[in-house]
Structure 1
């Protein structure tokens, strides 16, 4: 069962800590969704339904967070088939949605109630927009999302449900993607937010050696930072030794002088006594 209390939530399919693949669900007026079924189409004709199972739940990412469209292949247009009625029935219309394009929904299926999206849950992602220029409130869909045969389960901002959408686009159309790094992942272009997840760039052996050498030099420089120059330490020690020697000599001379003075006084006294005895 899905029950969001009219809040946008991410349902993470395998991770228990709100990471990895997820279903972004913004609810419509129909809640809760009892026994939600994920819908896939084989060759856009054979329906495969599976019970939705998830491991953790978290709040939706911001609209322009690249994780919303992670894995999306933009090099080829996505084919969307809209049906005027639920359960993929009634009049239908096909739309090809290329990248950086806002497609208005044909009047023949205005108020459509079910949808088929080409591709799979990893490389395909579309947005339904409440405005005909693809601005304003939106909801996101991928193949394998639950209840694609009845879009009244999906909300669209202040609209009652996703059936009132006026236009469609690939995910992230109105976001400033030029500020998001493009990273080649397994030969496929992928969008990532630089602040959300670190990017690991493999280094060659030469680059690694240079990095280690530079790191060693920096460490040596850092270890020397705050030290006195070696020559200054030597001068201080040398001056200290000279002062110690001079102090020792002066002290010895002073003690010798005092000793001589005491010795002379005693000698004079002895001579006087001797003189008195002789007398």
Structure 2
């Protein structure tokens, strides 16, 4: 009954999330002050009764990923800023324009009313634009009109300017002219066609950082533009006036604190009468995925219940997981440690067969050193030749490579200790008739991870437009024997050590294994914990901030790594703490018993069993709670910083 109730609650939460997400899709929030609560408005028409503070200013407008027109006059009339946001959250405050080749980025945008965007081919978007007067501008590869190459363009009529593909991103743009007579449209397509485009005028906010603008699809930032034209170039032939007078040719500005903040959140782009994102809305994709997963789940439950008596359930213990992974690695290349398939005892691989292993190890070290030098060069020279997503991928690659190199060094220098430890652990597991446990399921689940993640990582440079495959080599081969090193039988600590009270020899064997285990994990465990925190943070940032602009394989890798890291932490911390608690319980139990002097000496030779994190500290009962508290504090700080 409890299980059914939990399943019902889970389904209720999922449907509520889908319903709330759909209902909030066409709404925006307005906050008067930083400490005040946001007021929700439906973006179905003009919002003219904006709340005002005592100073008459608005602090924050949450656009909720809707395309909005920010009017500079009351009742949604006159000149406006057509804002089309980028996928990650951002802040918009200042206007950008050029006067006499001087950049003016310190004028605050004024807001009097807000309305939904017109359709992209609506002539009101480019009212006043002069098609007979050439529009001039410059695209810069770097932000703030500074570093990197630049390209000048001049447009008139139906002309389409295409840029060379050797420069992947354009991060800032300078547009000459006035906001009343000049309007340019930036396209994702190199032919100025298709629906993925956005429109800019002089005086629009943040022309010095196109990362804060997005295409109409809502899933890619504007830095990946391929061509530029005058506004309305891709629309059907319309009767357009070449000169139209508007009452205000300059956006009103203030010298005070007109704090206008637009926070981008997660939804579709407009209402049915106005422009909307291409493709299916987000809630449709979510509902489709949920229905497919639900169907597969029901089918799996029905199949298992119907045929479970006829199926021979395979064992998913720790030893079976180690054996299956060993078969996979030995099939690909000879690892540094091989196993006797009859007795399942580890041994050092003959040096003659280690050619592929050494080649992959040396390649890993060289590529890691190369990318580390690239990152240091970017920092020391203060140059920005790679995008922010490339920086995140570089951090992930360096972290995983550091863990791999640590495992290589440990495997070379501690090979005898590793063989001794794995052989004795296998004997203990076999003697204790180990059954399927959580750690065994994790190890069996991770067997196909090297091949799956390697294939998905290889597709990321192809799917990302701003990454050169020759500069984003992922670590797809040098897995070595690091997983075997980490599949140490900590599950033996689930045994109640008090069962060994009649045999001190068993406890002494465990004590020897504990010493060898700490020696083997002396470098691996500290590096693994730091790498886990770093990779978890980077992947979490990718999923939250760049969920719509990263390829699906990268999102799958991020979810898988975060899930495996969370489950592994949840399982391994209790295993390590139970080791210490069980040993202390064993020692305290026998200290209270009456025994001979000889047994007292044996008891004094026994020490408490602990898993040490290198030379730093031992894993204790409070370690997992302390780690979760640190993660929660960091998350709270990030949320306060964002909002």
Paired residues of 2:131 and 2:242 also in contact (CA < 8 A): no
| Aligned-residue offset at 1:32 | 4.2
| Aligned-residue offset at 1:165 | 1.2
Instruction: Give the match for residue 83 of structure 1.
Output: 140
Deviations 1:25-84 (A, max 9, x none): 1000232425x1001111233434201111011000011111100010111211110111
| Aligned-residue offset at 1:89 | 1.1
Given candidates 156, 162, 165, the residue that maps to 1:104 is: 162
Paired residues of 2:141 and 2:172 also in contact (CA < 8 A): yes
Does 1 or 2 have the higher relative contact order (CA < 8 Å, sep 6+)? 1
User: For residues 52 and 27 of structure 1, what CA distance do their matches in structure 2 show?
Assistant: 16
Q: How many residues get paired?
A: 183
Residue pairs, 1:153-232, within 5 angstroms: 153-158=212-217, 159-178=219-238, 180=239, 182=241, 185=244
1:4 aligns with 2:63: yes
Paired residues of 2:67 and 2:83 also in contact (CA < 8 A): yes
Secondary structure of the corresponding residue to residue 64 of structure 1: coil
1:63 aligns with 2:123: no
User: For residues 106 and 45 of structure 1, what CA distance do their matches in structure 2 show?
Assistant: 27
Paired residues of 2:190 and 2:226 also in contact (CA < 8 A): yes
Deviations 1:204-225 (A, max 9, x none): xxxxxxxxxxxxxxxxxxxxxx
1:31 aligns with 2:63: no
User: For residues 119 and 139 of structure 1, what CA distance do their matches in structure 2 show?
Assistant: 18
| Aligned-residue offset at 1:3 | 2.7
Unaligned runs of 5+ in 2: 1-59, 246-643
Instruction: Give the match for residue 442 of structure 2.
Output: none
User: For residues 112 and 226 of structure 2, what CA distance do their matches in structure 1 show?
Assistant: 34
User: For residues 94 and 82 of structure 1, what CA distance do their matches in structure 2 show?
Assistant: 6
Q: CA RMSD in A?
A: 1.9
Paired residues of 2:75 and 2:113 also in contact (CA < 8 A): yes
Given candidates 107, 110, 113, the residue that maps to 2:171 is: 113
Secondary structure of the corresponding residue to residue 144 of structure 2: coil
Moved more, 42-51 or 165-174: 42-51
Mark the CA change 1:33 to 1:16 in structure 2 (over 3 Å): closer, same or farther: same
Runs (4+) of structure 1 moved beyond 6 Å? none
Given candidates 18, 26, 33, the residue that maps to 2:76 is: 18
Q: Which has the higher strand share?
A: 1
Instruction: Give the match for residue 129 of structure 1.
Output: 187
1:138 aligns with 2:197: yes
Mark the CA change 1:101 to 1:2 in structure 2 (over 3 Å): closer, same or farther: farther
| Aligned-residue offset at 1:152 | 0.8
Unaligned runs of 5+ in 1: 187-279
Mark the CA change 1:184 to 1:119 in structure 2 (over 3 Å): closer, same or farther: closer
1:52 aligns with 2:109: yes
Paired residues of 2:86 and 2:211 also in contact (CA < 8 A): yes
Paired residues of 1:2 and 1:32 also in contact (CA < 8 A): no
| Aligned-residue offset at 1:19 | 1.1
Q: Which structure's CA Rg is the greater one? A: 1
